[in-house]
Structure 1
């Protein structure tokens, strides 16, 4: 059986394509988080090292796109933006939605959008959750956000695992707040490449480090953690080796699921 991403859908599975781009098949729906389909090369002040493990045509038709934020090309590049705006709906934060325009819907923090499920089991709920894109004491923009508005997402529905997609979050405090508000998380897709840009926040991490990622996993208690946004760009200071080591030192190796990009990871039932 082909275990690579292609237009035919899985029952319930996730595949990371590289960078933040993640395909989620649940309840008969296909959802893509933070699509980035451009090839390698300079993207403004950032440098992309490798392209995605699957193309937009490999992914095929989708039911919704989740955009954590639109201002940084490592989370939404030119091809990814075109892909997102061609989707039936884009779910993101209110400020980001205002910039993207239709079909983007701006979800306030803790707001929920419901997607009808083709499997006949009701709805898939997509809840917007907070994220802090840098140190807790970082400089705030005009909207009160560190770096910029960033939105995480929690996907849930009857008979489905609850999936958390962190977006570019660097704060374990925020993860603890999500755990208190949402309750049990079965699967966590954590962006934990310890992104650093010398000109921002004295070079301090703008996303989860591997150690903070293992701490976030300890707080959430999921059955599975899937690393994302930890390779493919020059500004990531940590990668798969550091993540594996941190989860091992925390005694959490058994929850880490980290196959090759573009391969499906079956979700727990």
Structure 2
């Protein structure tokens, strides 16, 4: 069993044996407006379920990207120097410094410690917007985590992405048992109908290829740029084979992985 604690937005504490892994640290209080470039902005509407001071010691931070405040904000950034291993994009690692590990899609980094199972971290591709948007939105990656004794298959943190062939390839390369799925259908007024993350319908299509045992939705609430919340996701997944597992904010929940 793996223990998941959703802290809000993309930020999730994943406890595997005695490994403590944190995704995309965001701990700023609500109410602030953040710019995302090219005239786009978003307001953080909900604070974290736990503050940094309430966290256990973190061994690994999986940072899908550092350039957007809804994935790494000011307080989240202050946590990084206290973490032994930070894994992110190659561009992000160069910006962060401090020994951060930068991975290109499909490259692998393994963390190990005496008495604990090694955890293999494979970077997976993302495209954080429509075609040709990468120059504006920047590089993003997801992460496939594998360790001995997984019951249903690998654990995948999808990262912020629209549905495209790079995501579909994950199912061709790995048997995915559990997916922490970034949804929310991000939109900005300045770019009209263009979306920068998956809708629930996109999630259903992707999961029909992956056939995971468990789907854990994250990053669909807490910011004004999300255009689809829990109800829309539930409606999209109604009747689908994939099993949604909702995490209550701040409440640890054990899941068979």
TM-score between both structures, scaled by the size of structure 2: 0.92
Determine the structure 1 residue equivalent to 2:163.
Answer: 171
Structure 1 position 71, deviation (Å): 1.0
1:204 & 1:249 partners in 2: Cα distance?
27
Determine the structure 1 residue equivalent to 2:51.
Answer: 55
Map 1:102-251 → 2, pairs under 5 A = 102-117=98-113, 119-121=115-117, 123-135=118-130, 137-141=131-135, 147-160=137-150, 161-181=153-173, 183-200=174-191, 202-251=192-241
Which runs of 5 or more structure 2 residues have no equivalent in the other structure?
A: 35-40
1:96 & 1:126 partners in 2: Cα distance?
17
1:241 & 1:213 partners in 2: Cα distance?
14
Tell me the alpha carbon deviations over residues 50-85 of structure 1, each in whole angstroms, 9 at most, x when there is no partner: 101111122221101011111111110000111123
Q: How many residue pairs are counted as aligned between the two chains?
A: 249
Question: Structure 2 vs 1, CA of residues 172 and 15 (structure 1 numbering), >3 Å: closer, same or farther?
Answer: farther
2:30 paired with 1:40: yes
Report the secondary structure of 2:122's partner residue: strand
Which runs of 5 or more structure 1 residues have no equivalent in the other structure?
A: 1-10
Q: List, as ranges, runs of 4+ consecutive aligned residues in structure 1 with deviation greater than 4 Å.
A: none
More moved, 88-97 vs 171-180: 171-180
Report the secondary structure of 1:167's partner residue: coil
Question: Structure 2 vs 1, CA of residues 168 and 210 (structure 1 numbering), >3 Å: closer, same or farther?
Answer: same
Check conservation: 1:43, 1:73, Cα contact below 8 A: no
Structure number with the higher strand fraction is 2
Taking only aligned residues, the RMSD between alpha carbons, in angstroms, comes to 1.6
Equivalent in 13, 17, 32 of residue 27 of structure 1: 17
Check conservation: 2:121, 2:145, Cα contact below 8 A: yes
